[in-house]
Amino acid sequence: MIRHLLEMLRLMVGVPDYERYLAHRRTHHPELPLPTHAEFILERQKARYDGRSQNRCC
């Protein structure tokens, strides 16, 4: 319940689950180095506000 609530709050500002991303990277790209949490956040911020995605409404 709490876990889902936190996940929802983060997703409201466009940040998906870091651990899940790490798990994805380990399974699919084990040869590549893993991003740190701060790198991950920065990448997500750039992706959310790059102008390509319409993620807010009137």
Partner 1 sequence: MRAVMGPVMWIGVAMLAALALAVVALHRGESINALWVLTAASCVYLIGYRFYAQFVAQKVLAVDAARVTPAHRREDGLDFVPTHGGVLFGHHFAAIAGAGPLIGPVLAAQMGYLPGMLWLLVGAVLGGCVQDMAVLFLSARRGARSLGDMIRLELGAGVGVLAQIGILTIMLMLLAVLGLVVVKALAHSPWGTFTVAATIPIALFMGIYMRILRPGRIGEGTLIGLVLLMLSIVYGGRIAADPYWAGVFTLEATTLAWSLIVYGFAASVVPVWLLLAPRDYLSTFLKIGTVLLLAIGIIVTQPELKMPALTRFIDGSGPVFAGSLFPFLFITIACGAVSGFHALISSGTTPKMLANERHIAPIGYGAMLCESFVAMMALIAAAALEPGLYFAMNSPPALIGTSVEQAASTISSWGFLITPEMLTQTARDVGEGTILSRTGGAPTLAVAMAQVLSSFLGGGAMMAFWYHFAILFEALFILTTLDAGTRVGRFMIQDFLGQVSPTLGNTRSWIGNLVATSLCVAGWGYFLYQGVTDPLGGINSLWPLFGIANQMLAAIALVLVTVVLVKMKRERYVWVGLAPLTWLLVCTLSAGWDKLFHADVRIGFLSHADKFKAAIAQGELLAPATSMAQMQQIVLNDYVNASLCALFMTILVAVTVLGLRVGLRSLRMVTFTAQEEPA
How far CA 33 is from CA of 20, 28, 36, 52, in Å, comes to 16, 12, 9, 27
Measured from the CB atom, the residue of 30 and 46 that comes closer to partner 1 is 46
In the complex, what is the shortest distance from the CB of residue 33 to partner 1, in angstroms, rounded to a whole number?
Answer: 15
Q: What does the angle CA 55 – CA 56 – CA 58 come to, to the nearest 5 degrees? A: 150
CB of 42 to partner 1, least distance (A): 6
Give the interface with partner 1 as residue ranges (CB under 8 A).
Answer: 4, 7-17, 20-21, 23-25, 36-38, 40-58
Nearer to partner 1, 31 or 55 (CB): 55
Answer yes or no: are the C-beta atoms of 55 and 21 closer than 8 Å. no
